[in-house]
Amino acid sequence: MESAMTSATILIVYHEKATRLILTNFLQPEGYRICGAANWEAAFEQLQHQTIDLVILDFAIAQQVEGGYLGKLLSLYPSIRVVMICDHCSLEEAVDAMKQGAVDFIHEPHGYFQRPFEPDHIRTVVAEALNRSPAAGVLTDDFNELIELARQCARQKNFDQARKLIGEAMKQAPERPESLTLLGLITEYLGNRLEALKLYRAALGLDPTYQPADMNLERATTNLKARPRFDDVL
């Protein structure tokens, strides 16, 4: 019987196909299920449609947006282990990535005379990463980012994580109505319409001019067949 570790699914996010293929050839014989992505958009698509246990993430891709993708990845999918792969990064950058939740680094050989990847080293790093506890906790204290991450979780039907992120957002700014409105949408989606109405009204109690809460309250009271939407602006 396969162990839980060797039956894990690994997503390799790297810009070069050749490197993705090399890593796949190292890891697939160990029993891992391997999928690949050349950019963040393709990686996010994979994450939405299957359970991923470990991501091998290109450091360059992770740094393509301000603040990086690593924190967002782990906020959306806190059970995932992340191993960063890079051909050059500073000690400070590596430490920062570890603080955000990366569990290890693979340093990519570069230059014609450099030694190639060592298969045993790659396999060891991956096996050890899978045996570690996932990164825990929320990795940002920015209210708007927490709400956006929570909404993304809700769109993916990851309601437990969405609620956790909403809770963190409420700690940061308890006076803001967005948190209660999004919590109302989740509550209504899960079938508790009366509790959702209370949450919409509570959001309006914080800000009587807040349109999303007002619109959802009206929809939920006048059109019982209409479903809550997580794509609307909060």
List the CATH number of the domain containing 14.
3.40.50.2300
Residues 121 and 150 in one domain: no
| Residues 18 and 88 placed together within one structural domain of the fold | yes
How far is the C-alpha of 208 from the C-alpha of 223, rounded, in Å?
A: 22
- Tell me, yes or no, whether 168 lies in a domain: yes
Across 173-201, average pLDDT: 94
Q: Is the pLDDT of residue 149 over 60?
A: yes
Residue 137 backbone dihedrals phi, psi, to 5 degrees? 90, 170
**What average pLDDT does range 161-184 have in this prediction?**
90
Domain boundary among 82, 110, 131: 131
Boundary (domain end) residue, out of 77, 109, 131: 131
Residues 14 and 79 both lie in one domain? yes
Shared domain for 127 and 199, answered yes or no, is no
Mean pLDDT within 51-72: 84
103-131: average pLDDT? 75
Domain boundary at 109, 131, 153, which?
131
Between 220 and 231, residue with greater pLDDT: 220
Question: Do the domain assignments include residue 38?
Answer: yes
Rounded distance between C-alpha atoms, residue 29 and residue 227, angstroms: 46
Which CATH number is 163's domain given?
Answer: 1.25.40.10
115 within a domain of the structure (yes/no): yes
CA 68 from chain centre, in angstroms, equals: 12
Within this chain, do residues 78 and 15 fall inside the same structural domain, yes or no?
A: yes
138 lies in some domain: no
Rg (CA), the chain: 21
pLDDT at 3: 46
pLDDT in tens, 76-102: 888 899 998 887 776 667 767 777 778
> What is the C-alpha to C-alpha distance for residues 32 and 175, in angstroms, rounded to an integer?
47
Domain count within the chain = 2
Instruction: State residue 72's pLDDT score.
Output: 81
Whether residue 21 is found in the same domain as residue 79: yes
Vertex 23, ends 21 and 24: CA angle to 5°? 60
Same domain, 122 and 166: no
Residue-level pLDDT at 5: 57
pTM of model > 0.95 = no
Residues 81 and 174 in one domain: no
Q: Is residue 200 part of a domain?
A: yes
Q: Are residues 88 and 35 in the same domain?
A: yes
Residue 111 has pLDDT above 70, yes or no: no
- In the prediction, which pLDDT does 4 show? 44
Average pLDDT over residues 156-161: 81
Same domain for 153 and 194, yes or no, is yes
**Residue 58: inside a domain, yes or no?**
yes
99-108, long-range: CB within 8 Å, 24+ apart, which pairs? 100/68, 100/70, 100/71, 100/74, 100/135, 100/139, 101/70, 101/71, 101/74, 101/135, 101/139, 102/57, 102/70, 102/135, 103/129, 103/132, 103/135, 104/128, 104/129, 106/56, 108/19
**Segments forming the whole domain that contains residue 119:** 9-131
The answer to whether residues 127 and 161 belong to one domain is no
Residue 233 domain-assigned (yes or no): no
Tell me whether residue 228 is in a domain.
no
Check whether residue 114 and residue 200 sit in a common domain.
no
